[in-house]
Amino acid sequence: MIGLLFHGPEVFDSGWAEKIINAIKSRYPVCCVLAGTMGRTAAFDAGIKDIEFRDQMPGVCLSDLAIQTEATLIVNYGKSEEAGQVFGAMVVKRSGVKTPVIQIECSGPFFVEWVAGCNPGIIDILRQINIPKKNKIQLRPSVWESGRTVCRRMSTASPGDFILVNGIMVGRATDAEVILECRDGHICKIQGAAVKEHGIEKLDRFGGIDLATAKLASSPNIRRTNCSPNVIRTNGSGMVFLDHSGMHVYELIGEAEGAVTVGDDTTAVAGDILARFQIPVIGIVDGDEDMILQNGHLAKGSVKLKVSEDDVFGLEVFGKIFGCKQHISMGFPEALERIRQLAAPYIVDQQFF
C-alpha cells in the first residue's frame, strides 16, 4: 500500500490531488491522509472522498502513515517552490521516518526523493504525468536555545504575509526571514515582523506554546486560490462556542444548529466553513479583522454583533449563556435573543445575513 499525505487547500483547489490519487491508485492500493483545517475544507469542496482527516502535525501524520505503508508520498502545493521544499524537508526531519518518502510539490510541479528506495513503479507514474525529479535541499537548523529563550526561524516568509502560530495570527512579516523568541511558553519577541500583541495574548490565554513543536505558517491568505464552495444541508441541534479558534472548527462543530464565534477572523474562517453546512453563526466582533481569509461567506441567518472588546464580551457569553461549556442544547433563536439582550449596553453595530 502507498500512503498519500496531503497538506493545504491549494493542492485540492488546483485539481492536483485528484489527479495524483487517480494516477497512483490505478496501479497500487492507497491510503490517503490529510493534515490541516483549510485543506479539509478544500477536499470537501472538491468532492474528494476516502480521505482520512487527522488533527495532527504533518510530521506525526507522516510517521503514523509510514508504519502502515511501503512508501509515503507527501503531496503539497506551497506558495513557492522554495517554500514547498522547506516544508517537505521539515516534515520528513521531524517525522524521523526511514522508509521511502517522496514529496510531490505541485507548485513546480516536481518531486523530491527525501528517503530513497521507493518502488520504481511510483517514479514511473510521476514521470508519466509530467512531474520531473528535483534534488533535495539541505535544511538549515530552525530551532535553537539561548538560555531560557527558545528561538525559531521561518525562512520562507514574504513581506506582508500573515504569521500564524497554531492557527492564530501574531503578526505580519516585514522581511523574508522571521525569528520568533519564546520564554516559558510566551512569545516575547518576533524579529522581521510587525507584531500583533492581541494574537500573542490569545495564545497565552490558551496556555502558551511549545515553540519548538508549534505549527507555524506564513501566507498572504489562508486559502490563496479561488473555489466554489460545496454546500449541503445538515439537521443538527444545539449551539457550540468558538473563541478565537476558527482553525479548530471541525473539532467542535459536529452537527450543531449554530455557533457563537468570538473574534473577527474567527468569525470569517469558522463562518465560511459552517456556511457549507448551512449552519449560521452569531459572530461577536470588534472590527479588527486582518482579512486572513478573503471572499468568505456566512450562512443565511447569521448575525454579526460588533462590540468594543470582542474577547471580553465573548467570555461573558461563555460564562452566562453557555455555562462555560463548549456545547449547549439551546436553539439558535433563543441563543441569539439572549446574547443580544446581554450585549445591549455594548453593541456598536449589528449585521444580519
* pLDDT per residue as tens, the chain (353 positions): 999 999 989 999 999 999 999 999 999 999 999 987 788 999 999 999 889 998 788 999 999 999 999 999 999 999 899 999 999 999 999 999 999 999 999 999 999 999 999 999 999 999 999 999 999 998 888 999 999 999 999 988 899 999 999 888 899 999 989 999 999 999 999 999 999 998 899 899 889 999 999 989 898 887 777 778 889 888 889 999 988 665 668 777 777 999 999 988 889 889 999 999 999 999 999 987 766 777 788 999 999 999 998 989 999 999 999 999 999 999 999 999 999 999 999 899 999 99
Contact 105, 112 (CB under 8 A): yes
Alpha-carbon separation of residue 257 from 182, 304, 323 (angstroms): 39, 17, 18
Q: Are residues 197 and 285 in the same domain?
A: no
Radius of gyration in angstroms for the set of CA atoms belonging to the chain, rounded to a whole number: 21
Distance (Å, whole) CA 260 – CA 338: 12
Instruction: Return the pLDDT at 292.
Output: 73
Q: Which residue has the cell 510530521?
A: 59
Q: Are residues 321 and 276 in the same domain?
A: yes
Q: Are residues 78 and 23 in the same domain?
A: yes
Q: Is residue 312 part of a domain?
A: yes
**Final residue before a domain boundary, out of 219, 252, 285:** 219
Q: Are residues 148 and 174 in the same domain?
A: yes
Instruction: Return the pLDDT at 286.
Output: 92
CB atoms within 10 A of CB 347: 14
* The three three-digit cell numbers of residue 79, written as one number: 506558495
Distance (Å, whole) CA 238 – CA 249: 15
Amino acid, single-letter form, for residue 196: K
Q: Is residue 234 part of a domain?
A: no
Q: Are residues 250 and 205 in the same domain?
A: no
Q: Are residues 248 and 341 in the same domain?
A: yes
Distance (Å, whole) CA 351 – CA 340: 12
**Final residue before a domain boundary, out of 219, 250, 279:** 219
Q: Is residue 311 part of a domain?
A: yes
CB atoms within 10 A of CB 136: 16
**Final residue before a domain boundary, out of 128, 152, 182:** 128
Q: Is residue 52 part of a domain?
A: yes
* CATH number, residue 87: 3.40.50
Domain count, the chain: 3
Instruction: Return the pLDDT at 198.
Output: 86
Instruction: Return the pLDDT at 167.
Output: 82
Q: Is residue 15 part of a domain?
A: yes
Distance (Å, whole) CA 164 – CA 199: 9
Distance (Å, whole) CA 322 – CA 330: 9
Q: Are residues 30 and 102 in the same domain?
A: yes
Alpha-carbon separation of residue 283 from 23, 64, 280, 328, 353 (angstroms): 43, 37, 9, 17, 11
Instruction: Return the pLDDT at 288.
Output: 76
Domain limits at 190?
143-219
Q: Are residues 121 and 149 in the same domain?
A: no
DSSP state of 133: B
Q: Are residues 8 and 114 in the same domain?
A: yes
Helix axes 37-46, 16-25, angle to 10 degrees: 80
